[in-house]
Structure 1
Amino acid sequence: MTDSDVEEETDPDDAGAYVAELRAKREEKDEFFGSHPQSPIPPGEREAFDGLSYFDPDPAYRVEATLEVHDDPEPVPMETTAGNEVRYVRVVTFSFDLDDGNHELHGYRQRPDDDEEPIFVPFRDKTTGQETYRGGRYLEFHPEGAVGNSDTAVLDFNLAYTPFCAFSEAFECPLPPEENWVETAVPAGERDR
């Protein structure tokens, strides 16, 4: 079960249920990180691991975004933490209001025609390198089928997560391109440990 399942299982208008479900998913993730063989926490550090650090859940950081679908997706090269480059294509732009301003984030796929592949939304914000991982954080958007222009979707920054490369150099992670640098602080989701 992924973090995005939180919004699928709870009534978005029931803040108490949403927060309880989010906290339960965070506990589940902490257990995985602390004990699972596929955890990004190095084996020698798992016994001392006492959980990830999170911002308090805040429904204000569940924002409704308008979608602009890119019919002819442009390739976007992304540097990785290992100094390599990976290629994604920009498939959708999310436009949303946050902190009295309008912002945009782009969503990417490696296979643009694969509606089963989640849309990858890497981003940096004013907390990056201060309160959150210096390489940025990620969101995943799981649309039900194809998306169209003017459709709306919820971007839930409470589900923003730190990439595995923050925990171990064994992982190589894409860095958010400059077009996905948000000019405001987003104190939601995972914090730097």
Structure 2
Amino acid sequence: MTTSRTSALTLADWRTRVADLYAAVRAESDPAEGHRLWVAGRSELFAHHPQSPTAHVPELREHGVQYWPYDPALRFEVPVLEAEPDERDVDGGDDGSVTMQRIGRVELPAPVGGSLDVWWLHQYAGGLFVPLRDGTAGSGSYGAGRYLLDTIKGAWLGGDEEHLVLDLNFAYHPSCRYDDRWRCPLAPLGNTVEARVEAGERL
């Protein structure tokens, strides 16, 4: 499918707005206030932007998506540990295949527990990707999982050369949860935890 001039420009605008939203979140000293900004910003984009994944879901376009209340116990700064190399290609729809390379893993402290793989996406000049599938999948959140970080799309909460900030309150559904025209990399086995993460975006 050929991308039209209008869709290319609106997609560029969507990505810029998402990146700006996360920059505002990182600049906020109070994580709970940053979360409030994030929810408000996403609600505005979902309701009015032409690239909204809810554009064809009138009830969500009008009323917005739902979120669990902010839980400060689910914000972590964790070291990125070594992991066995792994590389896989996943269907990216009209964007072609997406190549994911595992570059490490993180251990989530209590009350969650478990570990999550950290991936590098080769497309779009590269970016970090951390999906999550938890005990709410299918009964409180999308059955195929949610995303914590996707730096290609601007979803980045901070870190340094050895650590990542992972705030599970910012877990969000991939666009394919709302519209079949999207193809999204989903959470593999190494990004699955048993605990119910009742934080972030919900069904």
Which TM-score band applies after superposition, normalised by the shorter structure? 0.7 to 0.9
- From 178, 184, 191, the equivalent of 1:173 is 184
Return the letter of the residue paired with 2:31. Answer: Y
TM-score by length of 1: 0.78
Task: Count residues with an aligned counterpart.
Answer: 178
The offset of 1:91, in angstroms, is 1.3
Q: Any gaps of 5 or more consecutive residues in structure 2?
A: 1-17
Once the two structures are superposed, the pairs formed by residues 33-182 of structure 1 within 5 Å of their partners are 33-43=46-56, 45=58, 49-69=62-82, 73-78=85-90, 86-99=98-111, 102-111=113-122, 117-140=126-149, 142=156, 147=161, 151-182=162-193
Counterpart position of 2:37: 24
Aligned partners of 2:106 and 2:60: how far apart in 1?
Answer: 40
* Contact 1:34-1:46 at 8 Å conserved across structures: no
| Greater Cα shift, 170-179 or 43-52 | 43-52
1:28-74 CA distance string (max 9 Å, x none):
1111111111011134627852111001011111023121256x843
- From 9, 29, 42, the equivalent of 2:27 is 9
Cα RMSD (Å): 3.1
Counterpart position of 1:14: none
Return the letter of the residue paired with 1:156. Answer: D
* Contact 2:25-2:157 at 8 Å conserved across structures: no
SS at match of 2:166: strand
Q: Percent identity?
A: 29
More helix by share: 2
* Contact 2:56-2:179 at 8 Å conserved across structures: no
Return the letter of the residue paired with 2:23. Answer: D
The offset of 1:92, in angstroms, is 2.1
Aligned partners of 1:47 and 1:162: how far apart in 2?
Answer: 13
TM-score by length of 2: 0.74
More strand by share: 1
User: Is 1:190 matched with 2:190?
Assistant: no
1:154-188 CA distance string (max 9 Å, x none):
21111100011111111111121111111211111
